[in-house]
Amino acid sequence: MANKQHPMGSGFTAASTADEVLAGLDLTGKNVIVTGGHSGLGLETTRALANAGASVLVGARDPERAAQAVAGLARVEVERLDLVEVKSIDAFAKRWLETGRALHVLVNNAALAAPKTIARDARGFELQFSTSHLGHFQLTLALLPALRLARGARVVNVSSGAQRFGEIRWDDPNFTTDYHSGVAYAQAKKANVLFAVELDRRYAQEGIRGYAVHPGVVVGTTLNGSAGPEALRSMGLIDDEGRPIIDPKVGKKTLAQGASTIVFAATSPRLNEIGGVYLTDNDISVVDDTPRPLTADSIPTEVVSSSIDPANARRLWTLTEEMLAR
């Protein structure tokens, strides 16, 4: 893993936008699914990929609201998808497979604002882990036949720099004790990275590559959308007038800048022979295990070795299969 997990010199920067990353690429004939592709970073990802010629299907819990959000975008459709409902995931995947279409890119983007108190799905699973990891795991495996048909597909898991602080609670991933919303969020985001690593190991020979992405911190997205003005100000994300502070060099980005690394992972020819990596700022991240606190002026985003450890990735895959089999 270490030999792949280092910057390649992509030519893009933290300030690059999704449109800049896609400039010159013709995605006509490419089929893409974006979960939660109707709001925030998901909507910007949908818009940019569709404008580059791709046909995009947005999976959303509320299709009516999602349809309103993507109205006017060419080649964009919406279907119901609730990532904490087994039947909803299976039905969504079945509808796609019945069309016989290849799936070139799956962007596992949907997440939810961290609840302050413990929340669970109908199966009893902690809701952030269920949405961000378990649901996307089930969806991805259900769509494998369509991904194989693409003869060169990519699965992009939208993670976070919070993977640095996350730990998989192997004996208690559902927080039967000691729940903390931030700890649960970090576990889910670490799982996104480990899932990409093991997915790539298992399916690269079939032309299916896995990637995990830190998009940056964007005011109003799931990461901070539930935070109040005082909290956002203390995090250095808004100024005294309530205006977003944009400083991509330290990870504070616009939607267009945040979505850029997502579409880079989804489309860049530079990644044709590379998978199972974590990306940030439109390039492969360095590995940095140096403990660094999160402050208003410093947002560490580099991947830590435990997030890309092959043994951890295989262990999580097994744990996930066991949880979904219950």
Which of the residues are catalytic? 185
How far is residue 53 from each of residues 19, 46, 225, 265, 282, measured CA to CA in Å? 12, 11, 30, 17, 21
> In terms of Cα–Cα distance, which of 270, 323, 317 is closest to 8?
270
Tell me the two tokens of residue 303.
């991947």
Q: Give the span between the Cα atoms of 21 and 166, in whole angstroms.
A: 29
Sign of CA dihedral 69, 74, 79, 82: negative
Q: Give the span between the Cα atoms of 192 and 320, in whole angstroms.
A: 12
Question: Contact, 31 vs 151, CB < 8 A?
Answer: no
Long-range Cβ pairs for the range 203-207 (8 Å, 24+): 203/144, 203/147, 204/275, 204/276, 206/148, 207/148, 207/150, 207/151, 207/152, 207/153
Q: Give the span between the Cα atoms of 247 and 239, in whole angstroms.
A: 12
Rg (CA), the chain: 18
Question: Contact, 104 vs 52, CB < 8 A?
Answer: no
Kindly give the interhelix angle for 135-142 and 181-203, rounded to the nearest 10 degrees.
Answer: 20
